[in-house]
A and B are shown apart, each in its own frame.
Chain A
Amino acid sequence: MSRRTAAPFHQLSDESVLAGPWTCKLNGTAQSALDEILTEWDYGASLSLERKVTVDWTRAATDLAFEGPFDLLLLIEIGSGRGTFPRQVIQMERLRLLHGASEQIVSVTPACCRLSHQLSLRSWLVLERAGKPLDVLAPLPGARLWGDRTATRLEGDDPRFPMEVVSFAEHFAGRPHRFAPWFVSWSPAGAHRDFRGALRLYLNKDQPEILERVQAQDTALLQAIMGDVASQVCEGLLRQPDHEGDLREPEEGSLADQVRHWLHRAFQDVDEARSVLEQRPGEFRAALLASMRL
């Protein structure tokens, strides 16, 4: 399970939940593993997905500090739209797991006409009926005890990192950066927005030698590009007092969240990063650049 927030109650360990991978059936083909990209998808497709979930009830009781029976609810959130979090949860499936239930197969059939960019599947095990608690950290009904997330891209037209190859002479004619090999479009005002919507890296088509080196995965160049992206965005947010809250409690998948992640790669914490930036800006840049080494 991917845990982002530590809950103030017991949760299920990964050993208590055996959740198989999602499989899919697209347009009547045989059931197969759900790939990173559903290349044959379109709005008119027929799609069904399933996975198997098994709970080790004995181990779960120990995890949750319950004595006696308890029931769980398996929730499947089907979402779509660009971003780490889907723009819209278009469908919910619920499956009650009564205490002691054996392996469950959950099936979902999302309406393809409502999907876009990606299909997001979030699975949760939620406590529906609590057992007799053995300590004060035993969870209450409604508590999220376990979860995971799977996302698959649709149409294959959206790279995960928001970037685009364009002719700068054409698209940025007359602008000072038209001769730059790359350009990062972003704004500090977008700190709480989804990362993929808040930032875009443009590579200059007019400089084919740069594109060739990027496509050949020239590590020094990729490091330089990523170092530049991370430096300017991190500096931009650190220098703005308005974003102190965004960096302390960033929303998952937001630009601020990504900045926090970049800063933690290079520094102990956000405060250390800010201090180094203020007092030794050259070291700040070099530290971020070093953290981007592939």
Chain B
Amino acid sequence: MEGPVILLPRLEPADVQRIVDALDPENGPGHIEGLVELPDAATFAAVGGRRVSIDELLALRRAVLGVATDAGYPDADSAEARARFDAAVTPVLATSELLQSGEALRDDVWAFIACWLLAPVTFWRYGASPERWHGGVRNTFQRIWLRARALDRGEGADDRWGLVEALTEDAHVAIVERPALASQQPLARAIAEGWVRAAAAYGRNRMQGIMRDAIITMRLRNEITALREVSPEELQRIVDEAFRRAGDSSADSAAPSISSAAPAPAPTEPQDPDAAGDGWFRKALALGRGRRR
């Protein structure tokens, strides 16, 4: 990254909830094209970069509104239109200069984006569902950015965003909402590529259950084997084996084969990790682990 970090506005969860509670359930937040003053509740990091300018924010807004309009916003009310939007806005968010620093890992930044910068698009995409406005892995725009980060085939790659477009929403959620896998880009990408192959073999309609089982296998396997360190060919074999076992054991399997490799070792029962805690809830919460009774 060149130059100072661009500091973005932040919104706290309580302020987000107020905004969500005040939404008109029929019409949403209204127009934003003329909205150029930041809300009073917005805060910034105290130091460490330069504050984003209004012009920069509005440029991002225009870029997203552009692809949203092409996808059918605000009138189209179909799953197809919304899926088109998700695919089209992916490169906009993934490559935005404003979203290349640690600021883009902050939930309160994405809350600002959903609640102020792009509020009508949030409403068009998901209505008043609170989790789509709050920061987090289900935020309307944060989820797009996270999956772009996880599944980017790389600048210059053929079909750079192909995985983002190919996976179903369930498949995206299965990867992105599991940080043990999503945080490791090569692993997340390998699983997504495996999903595509498995979907071709078993059919997309059957993939929700297959993905759920395959993800558990991959997660447990990664706890005992450094999957990121194996060769790409070996990782592909492991991924395909996980999908094959999941597919073959699914209720109405016809057992098409993706890989004929030997099965991975079965995971064993979890053990207690070490205790941890914090502050005045330390003893009660024990967010790491405490003693079993």
Q: Which chain A residues have a beta carbon within 8 Å of chain B's beta carbons?
A: 2-9, 42-45, 73, 75, 79-89, 92, 111-117, 124, 126, 142-144, 155, 159-161, 164, 166, 170-172, 175, 185, 187, 189-190, 192-195, 197, 200, 202, 214-215, 217, 222-223, 226, 245, 249, 251-253, 258, 261, 264-268, 291-292, 294
Contact = CB atoms under 8 A, between A and B. Distances in A.
Nearest to A118: B105
Contact of B293 (A80, A226, A265): A265
B161 to A, nearest CB: 18
B48 A264 contact: no
Interface stretch (B23-31, B62-70, B279-287): B279-287
Contacts of B244: none
A88 B229 contact: no
Given A73-B229, A171-B17, A2 B273 contact: yes
B45 A43 contact: yes
Instruction: For chain B, give the interface size range.
Output: 35 or more
A87 B136 CA distance: 10
Given A143-B224, A217-B280, A258-B287, A117 B12 contact: no
Given A42-B47, A217-B280, A193 B225 contact: no
Nearest to A266: B293
A137 B198 CA distance: 32
Given A7-B224, A42-B48, A87-B105, A113 B5 contact: yes
B5 A43 contact: yes
A144 B226 contact: yes
**A-B CB proximity, top 4 nearest:** A42-B48, A116-B102, A43-B48, A116-B105
Contacts of B248: none
A84 to B, nearest CB: 8
B219 interface: yes
B183 A88 contact: yes
A197 B146 CA distance: 15
B255 interface: no
Nearest to B264: A8
30 contacts: A2-B274, A4-B270, A4-B273, A8-B267, A42-B47, A43-B45, A44-B48, A81-B102, A88-B105, A88-B149, A89-B184, A113-B5, A116-B103, A117-B105, A124-B226, A142-B227, A144-B224, A160-B278, A160-B279, A170-B18, A171-B14, A192-B177, A193-B138, A197-B137, A202-B14, A252-B273, A264-B293, A265-B293, A267-B293, A294-B284
A222 B290 contact: no
Contact of B180 (A8, A113, A166, A251): A251
Contact of A226 (B137, B216, B225, B284): B284
Candidate in B104, B184, B269, B285 with the most chain A CB atoms within 10 angstroms? B285
Contacts of B227: 142
A130 to B, nearest CB: 13
A292 B283 CA distance: 8
B197 interface: no
B42 to A, nearest CB: 15
A85 B290 CA distance: 19
B281 A161 contact: yes
B271 to A, nearest CB: 5
A80 B105 contact: yes
A264 B292 contact: yes
Given A113-B1, A160-B278, A261-B289, A144 B225 contact: yes
B179 A86 contact: yes
Contact of B287 (A43, A112, A161): A161
A3 B13 CA distance: 34
